[in-house]
Amino acid sequence: MADMSTPQRTWTPSSWMDLPAEQMPEYPDPDHLKQVLETLSTQPPLVFAGEARDLTADLARVCRGEAFLLQGGDCAETFDAAGADATRDKLKVLLQMAIVLTYGASMPVVKVGRIAGQYAKPRSKPTESVGGVEMASYKGDAVNGLAPTVENRRPDPSRLERMYHTSASTLNLLRAFTSGGFADLSRVHAWNQEFVAGSPQGQRYERMASDISRALDFLSAVGIDIGREATFNSVDFYTSHEALLLGYEQALTRQDSLSGDWFDCSAHMLWIGERTRQLDHAHVHFLSGVSNPIGCKVGPTMTPEELLELVDVLNPDNIPGRLTLISRMGKDKVGDALPPLLAATRDAGKNVVWVCDPCHGNTFTAESGYKTRHFDDVLAEIAGFFGAHQSEGTIPGGVHMELTGEDVTECLGGDQQIADLDLSQRYLTACDPRLNNAQSLEMAFQVAELLRDRPCARP
Ligand SMILES: O=C[C@H](O)[C@H](O)COP(=O)(O)O
Ligand SMILES: C=C(OP(=O)(O)O)C(=O)O
Ligand SMILES: [Mn+2]
């Protein structure tokens, strides 16, 4: 419980500055940083308060078990990969996954990209040695450059301006795609059918794909024109990223003229990473004061007591949809580590959404030296997550995954049976390994089967 003897710190967009903050870059030229942040604070917001409120309402449905959350995208977006094709392909795979999950869960899927702002990375080590030269670790394009030279790895504040403008152009494209016919349900389903027909184990997913076809045919038969109805040819698609660089987030924070509430207008949803979730530190404090829906990663070291304190700080009014807890335990730990946490929020009557990040607890370095994850481990953690909810009688709200629409070779396994020796072919990620487009879709089919077959599924 919150310690009532400690006076509540008054929140302002800058009050985080008095608190310790992990993982923030140290800029060699603080005046330059100040000037960039001042400029950013005069720029238009990227998203609007009303949109963030809509996402809270959608997540409240997830909280009640009436919808399922799909959150996904790159570990680290890069400025160079923010072109139209890559953005389209990322959106495409997420929409394809969403249809399959909608079918499996028999519920609407709330779609949130790790996109249009996912440019800052916490790292396990502040420095690394490349070719015998010690340099700062890459911390995302918002901070420094990936190419390994001492100069390039120096934090550069002007990158924050590029983050803002690249986020704006990505968001602009996403808005056009999601309202301009690209998201037409029958078209997205046709892509899935192509995938099923072209996949070696297509047979396995064929039945589900044809069940979905039949459902769409039924809608046509009863007179619903899927190509014309707004419900079927446009989608709500939201953006999110880890709120790591608090100066940037502060600069994009605006007071809503309608409610007087503060919103971080850099994205619809922001989350706190596993490395920055200390209760009395800056990241938790900053996000406690904005009214966007927020997330917090929850790893295996979290205790029920600490979790309840965190929930009280981040969602003191117990608003459904306000707080999403993103479990990232690892496949071997989820079975033991998650149930006591689920029991704690359940018994305390906390309205939180629980989702599974099956990626960050299952990363390892392969013999080849590449950082990777195995498809089967990712799926096993999701299965463990559903199992934990089953045993506690709580609601598995969704999945949060690192993936891309490109045909990369970064994660092992899947129907393509990507092996360690294949990783070097198209290992393109700037940080963590992503499921490629085929692996992502296979994952959606497999998760849909788990959802469909769960004992509490609707008949
Ligand atoms: O995406 C998350 C983190 O930045 C990443 O998992 C840390 O990886 P590292 O151990 O390579 O720093
Ligand atoms: C850094 C990340 O995860 P975590 O904070 O869970 O390690 C991430 O989601 O990219
Ligand atoms: Mn990552």
At residue 457, the pLDDT reads 53
Residue nearest to atom 10 of ligand 1 (CA): 124
Question: Is 190 inside any structural domain?
Answer: no
pTM of the model: 0.96
Q: Which of the listed residues 22, 297, 334 should we mutate to test ligand 2's pocket, taking the one with most ligand atoms within 8 A of CB?
A: 297
Question: Is 253 inside any structural domain?
Answer: yes
Range of the domain at 406: 15-183+234-453
Question: Is 201 inside any structural domain?
Answer: no
From CA 294, how far away is CA 315, in angstroms rounded?
A: 9
Instruction: Name the nearest CA neighbour of 442 among 93, 75, 187.
Output: 93
β-strand pairing of 109-114 with 68-73 = parallel
At residue 198, the pLDDT reads 84
432 is in an annotated binding site: yes
275 is in an annotated binding site: yes
Kindly tell me if the per-residue pLDDT of 459 is higher than 70.
Answer: no
Ligand 1 pocket member 432 (CB < 6 A): yes
As a whole number, mean pLDDT of residues 225-253 equals 89
Question: Is 219 inside any structural domain?
Answer: no
Max distance between CA atoms of the chain, in angstroms, equals 68
Question: Is 249 inside any structural domain?
Answer: yes
ipTM value > 0.95: yes
Nearest ligand atom owner, CA of 122: 1
Ligand 2 pocket member 400 (CB < 6 A): no
Q: How many CA atoms lie within 13 A of 140 on its CB side?
A: 25
At residue 235, the pLDDT reads 82
Q: Which secondary structure element, helix H or strand E, spans residue 379, and what is its range?
A: helix 375-392
Question: Is 247 inside any structural domain?
Answer: yes
213 CA → ligand 2 middle, Å = 36
Kindly tell me if the per-residue pLDDT of 166 is higher than 50.
Answer: yes
Q: What's 443's domain CATH number?
A: 3.20.20.70
Phi, psi of 421 (to 5 degrees): -65, -20
Q: What's the number of domains the chain is made of?
A: 1
134 CA → ligand 1 middle, Å = 18
Taking only the tens place, the pLDDT of each residue in 3-25 is 444 445 799 999 999 999 999 99
Question: Is 8 inside any structural domain?
Answer: no
Closest atom of ligand 1 to CA, residue 76: 1
Closest atom of ligand 2 to CA, residue 276: 5
123 CA → ligand 1 middle, Å = 5
Residues with CB in 5 Å of ion ligand 3: 75, 432
Phi, psi of 231 (to 5 degrees): -60, -30
Question: Is 44 inside any structural domain?
Answer: yes
